């Protein structure tokens, strides 16, 4: 990734229901990516928002007997509230019912039609109203017939015969294949890249981009035929450009788009890979626009039977033998913002799925935070209060450095090196693994040196202070390395460890940056251990 600027997005979240933990996972993952780039001083823009058109929104509004826009306003507020509770630092929040977005979609549709890339044709085949997708006979037959190929356990399909408008997506199949194969347009992880290439190998058909207004009225009208509205997945995808000033007449907006496009990373769930890795790049090609640099398709949080968390399979349910899993509100109530962020950020390598229940979250938070970072901070600051009068005693002379000290320093430096490498790796788990190793190295160093015994003699006190100082300095680097994941706790710990003023990664990532005599704070109770009694009963 180029390191002059960083533009990261989440998918815009569908508003037919309230947000769940899957939405929180995607948001935190993107926020952590943005946070590491900001920590390194890289100019960053982080976009999220809500997808507010389409059949499911119209149906959900009808079920509640409210206007679609009223439903959108209510649900967008819920998503905004969740981002705030999670301490997510998005730079913009786009809604597809906003004029700045609908104006762009209208202009794009008009241009594609004028260029001949959109045409009217007769369609006969299968349609899933809930997924708002047309399916070929082959798609439905492969699923066993009569069911939605994407979610057969939930939705059926109906046979339709009607006229619709199509985008000449097949025209761009070869260009797309070449872009993916050469990583000009990178699909990550590799197994998702192979999945998309396999999809293209079957042959790319044209994409139906309209819905008849007699069936669906809640959408952006086609500017060349008002009997239709735009298919929600064409409408929604252009949020990544409308939010940064695409096609704006205003010079400042035009410059903003030129600065931030192409996006560096679209963070998405693997279930919307085709829309982002096939529909989106071909639409951009048709408009003569640069492709995003990467689509990162992460895995799913799975319930006790291996099912994906979703709006249709609600959290907390005990239906059909599925054990209750934490709601996002429940996670935040029990573990707080930082504990919840830690679990979500460290839950899995992007691309993998992971099991998800109360016990798994509790064990992860207790092990890594309460027993790991939190306990280490408390022990060291208590030792410093007693043996060093609450000030940083200094690291001593270089020629006094032994092998055990060098190991603890190397482990801490490895954590900040993983942060420096982040723009290339985008691997949160690599940073976390280095931090875990650093905490273990401090623990081993203390166990070997036993400063609590050394302080009992005048001869041992100088060595005890050196051990405490090297451990504190190593802990400071480890805390710096997890700052984007644990923003609230880091601020408290940074102060307790003697650092003042504005955060400066270049300076603070150096081992030895904390000056001798710096005043240390009281041991903060950052991560209280979560007992089993704090977990809501199943």
Give the separation between CA 221 and CA 447, rounded to whole angstroms. 69
Instruction: Cite the active site residues.
Output: 20, 23, 128, 131, 148, 155, 308, 311
User: C-alpha 68: how far from its chain's center?
Assistant: 28
Residues 6 or more apart whose Cβ sits within 8 Å of residue 222? 109, 113, 165, 210, 228, 229, 230
* Helix 21-39 with 328-346: angle, nearest 10 deg: 50
Please tell me the number of Cα atoms within 13 Å of 520 on its side-chain side: 30
The DSSP letter of residue 308 is B
* CA–CA dist 53, 101 (Å, integer): 12
Residue 175 and residue 177: Cα distance in Å, rounded?
Answer: 6
DSSP 150-161: S-TTT-B-EEEE
322, with CB counted inside 10 A (0-12, 13-18, 19+), is middle
Report the C-alpha gap between 180 and 186 in whole angstroms: 6
The CA-atom distances, in angstroms, between 476 and each of 29, 361, 469, 483, 503 are 23, 25, 10, 11, 13
**Positive/negative CA dihedral, 419, 422, 423, 426:** negative
* Residues present in the chain in total: 538
Q: What's the rounded Cα separation, in Å, for the pair 339 and 349?
A: 18
Q: Cα–Cα distance between 408 and 401 in angstroms, integer?
A: 11
CA dist 6 and 88 (Å) reads 16
Exposure class string for 19-39: b at 16+ Cβ within 10 A, else e:
bbbbbbbbbbbbbbbbbbbbb
- Bridge partners of residue 308, in order along the sequence: 302
Phi, psi of 14 (to 5 degrees): -70, 140
Count CB neighbours of 378 within 10 A: 18
* Euclidean distance between CA atoms 2 and 255, whole angstroms: 19
Nearest CA to 446 out of 398, 477, 482, 408 is that of: 408
Closest to 208 measured CA to CA, from 286, 277, 134: 134
């Amino acid at each position: 990734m180029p390191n002059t600027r960083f533009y990261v997005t989440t998918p815009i979240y569908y508003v037919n229901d309230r947000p769940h933990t899957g939405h929180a996972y995607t948001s935190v993952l993107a926020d952590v990516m943005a946070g590491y780039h900001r920590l390194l001083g890289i100019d960053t823009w982080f976009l999220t928002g809500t997808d507010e058109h389409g059949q499911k929104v119209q149906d959900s509004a009808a079920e509640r007997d409210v206007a679609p826009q009223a439903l959108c306003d209510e649900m967008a507020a819920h998503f905004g509230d969740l981002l705030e509770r999670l301490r997510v630092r998005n730079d913009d929040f786009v809604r597809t019912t906003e004029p700045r977005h609908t104006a762009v979609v209208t202009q794009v549709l008009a241009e594609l039609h004028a260029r001949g890339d959109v045409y009217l044709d007769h369609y006969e085949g299968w349609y899933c109203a809930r997924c708002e997708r047309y399916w070929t006979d082959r798609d439905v037959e492969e699923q066993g017939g009569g069911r939605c190929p994407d979610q057969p356990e939930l939705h059926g399909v109906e046979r339709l015969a009607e006229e619709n408008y199509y985008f000449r997506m097949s025209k761009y199949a070869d260009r797309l294949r070449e872009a993916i194969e050469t990583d000009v347009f990178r699909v990550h992880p590799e197994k998702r890249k192979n999945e998309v290439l396999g999809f293209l190998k079957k042959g790319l058909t044209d994409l139906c981009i309209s819905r008849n207004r007699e069936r669906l009225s809640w959408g952006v009208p086609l500017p060349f035929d008002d009997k239709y509205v735009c298919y929600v997945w064409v409408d929604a995808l252009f949020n990544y450009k409308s939010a940064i000033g695409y096609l704006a007449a205003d010079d400042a907006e035009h410059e903003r788009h030129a600065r931030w496009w192409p996006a560096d990373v679209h963070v998405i769930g693997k279930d919307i890979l085709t829309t982002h890795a096939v529909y989106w790049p071909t639409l951009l090609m048709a408009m003569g626009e640069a492709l995003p640099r990467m689509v990162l398709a992460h895995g799913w949080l799975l319930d006790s039977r291996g099912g994906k968390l979703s709006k249709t399979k609600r959290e907390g349910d005990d239906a059909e033998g599925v054990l209750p899993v934490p709601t996002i509100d429940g996670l935040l109530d029990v573990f707080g913002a930082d504990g919840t962020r830690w679990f979500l950020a460290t839950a899995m390598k992007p691309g993998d799925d992971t099991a998800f229940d109360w016990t798994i979250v509790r064990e992860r938070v207790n092990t890594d935070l309460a027993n790991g970072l939190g306990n280490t901070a408390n022990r060291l600051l208590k030792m410093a209060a007693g043996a060093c009068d609450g000030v940083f005693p200094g690291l001593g002379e270089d020629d006094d450095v032994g092998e055990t000290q060098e190991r603890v320093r190397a482990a801490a430096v490895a954590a900040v090196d993983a942060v420096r490498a982040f723009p290339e790796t985008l691997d949160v788990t690599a940073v976390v693994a280095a931090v875990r190793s650093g905490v273990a190295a401090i623990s081993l160093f203390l166990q070997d040196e036993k400063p609590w015994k050394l302080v009992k003699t005048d001869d041992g006190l100088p060595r005890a202070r050196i051990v405490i100082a090297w451990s504190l300095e190593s802990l400071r680097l480890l805390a710096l390395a997890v700052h984007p994941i644990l923003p609230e706790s880091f601020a408290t710990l940074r102060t307790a460890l003697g650092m003042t003023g504005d955060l400066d990664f270049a300076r603070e990532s150096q081992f030895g940056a904390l000056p001798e005599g710096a005043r240390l704070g009281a041991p903060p109770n950052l991560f209280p251990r979560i007992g089993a009694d704090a977990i809501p009963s199943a």
